[in-house]
Amino acid sequence: MRRLDGRTVLITGGANGLGLATGVRLAEEGANVCLVDREAEALEAAGSAVRAFGGRVCTVFADCLQAENVTRTVQRANSELGPIDVLVNNIGQSARERQSPFVQSNEDVWRFVFEVNVFTTFRFTRAVAPGMCERRFGRIINLSSDAALVGPLQSADYAAAKAAILGFTRATAREFGPAGVTVNAILPGPMRTRAMIDANQTVVQSMVDKVVLGHPGEPEDIAAMVAMLASEDGRFITGQSIPVNGGVWWL
Active-site amino acid positions: 158
- Secondary structure element (H or E) that encloses residue 186, with its range: strand 181-188
User: What is the rounded CA–CA span in Å between residue 77 and residue 33?
Assistant: 9
Q: DSSP code of 217?
A: B
- Secondary structure element (H or E) that encloses residue 140, with its range: strand 138-143
Task: Compute how many other C-beta atoms are within 10 angstroms of the C-beta atom of residue 154.
Answer: 16
User: What is the rounded CA–CA span in Å between residue 148 and residue 130?
Assistant: 28
- Phi first, then psi, for residue 29 (nearest 5°) are -85, 5
3-class state of residue 48 by DSSP: helix
Residues 6+ apart with CB under 8 A from 218: 21, 191, 192
